[in-house]
Structure 1
């Protein structure tokens, strides 16, 4: 059953308050106040009040003055003035100054009040949706601003490195020195390629639709192992996998691969280079209607004060590798689309554990 619209009626005449509440209490949640001070107390206790009716001729101040006073304190409720013909100039002035939504003539009828409530409720709903959209637009604008800065910074950085190396190589004759410059150029190109792939993942998640099918976890893990085998071997990392699947698992293949790929990529990337016993564990269990995935490593770990920020767009917790700042953001975004969740635990210098849960589709 939908929640009743909460309405405040302010009038110094007790009979009017009783009559208003008796007429509309069945359809609406009616609160009443005998003066403006009491009205302010009620508004403070009930921030979900949507509509305020107030009589123009109050003993301490007029209805217009009351609405003008509370406008900055309680901007969201729709304000409706109740007034007689003799106060019509004040009403027009108030409407022109934007303090009230509309007025109801005195003595009012049930039809007048119901009409005013319906129009006010529609206006309140439209304003609320507009406020949400404005907030979303502002958030999108801020994100776009950060995105534009990051793109220009992260693309120009590797390109500048390549251009600088090219200028140096032009004046080199020593083959060893040339190879060193080529290695620097290759590293810059790899960073650029990683960034471009991360942006592709980002837009795939933002615009793509889920395509649910039965997942072959063994095949996905085999494919990911093949993708990362070069880095695994080069960094001398032991990669151990355990899959315990007790029931079929249905999910979006591309999104699941994106999640696993980013987590494994980070686990490889942030190993302690001086460690002679580097390892990564991938444990997957499918049971009771969900997949539970653990990605564990004994790498550099994450500072505790960064654990709540690592999933933010463009955030980088470490300078060990020039990441794009997209990876974990993409992981979290992908999991939102799958109605999944992720938790991380880590001790700086002692690795990290990412726990992912994804419901069976």
Structure 2
């Protein structure tokens, strides 16, 4: 498959010339309108390389390539320009918006060499991105597995709370949304560094000594330290550390709005308190009233929670069901251990099921007898 290259120039005859000469080397698209070019990149990308003229109506080449960078960061951007535009080009390069610029009149061999360099750059960045994403997913999965084994109650709790947080964060236009679920699921990962007896007392709502309270309350710091060096989780590490904040109203409202990590941490904290109250059997209005009386959270977040969930009781949005292996679904959570007829635990209580785990369970069932039905926690999909 030929690499995809987009040429943008307001002179159609120039585009025709590029197309006729270069179509043997690349999968060429052309546009004589920079606004249209943005749409082409959005709808037909990603392109390995975009080559644009500088002087065009409506939008110059630097502006166009800056817009393209917002859509597809890895696309290599090359600018064609005359000597009179030198200062503008230098500024664009310094801002990181342009990979290379070529002066007119252009020598075709030089253009081909630079496009080929751009394609190699695109492929390199793409490979690095794929490797990073695989590393990220593997790291997050490992941490979640550790939490599910070491503290089942915590894992089940954050699995339940994530649905509340995702909805509130979406309504508050939090971006990127992929951070939200990971931040919730890892929000209590620091508990792996807290002695089990202290965590157990906290879960059973037994009184803690002042020293135990100090140790327990340090778990956001521990969690942040655990993940801050994982690529792309730096902001999530800050979200986790902000959970140590006792009063979010101490911050200026503008900071709460501009500091994304602080905002998401507040949403998670509010959602956990709301879930805890609902899980104790109190009503939606009781939970909202309690949050308002504490006066340490942003009123607009509590109001949004009140509006979004109405009178529904979040604790009742989850149900425990008994299902057979063929009926297991992704995102169900095991309410009991999966064991075989010899009593060997195959998957522990609290494990959130993925397609891969379900596939493994079905594969195991072919070679050994697994005790069925299996109790699982299932959540309604409407929140």
Q: If the TM-score is normalised by the length of the shorter chain, which range does it land in?
A: 0.3 to 0.5
Asked which structure has the greater CA Rg, the reply is 1
Greater per-residue strand proportion: 1
Greater per-residue helix proportion: 2
**Structure 2-normalised TM-score?**
0.44
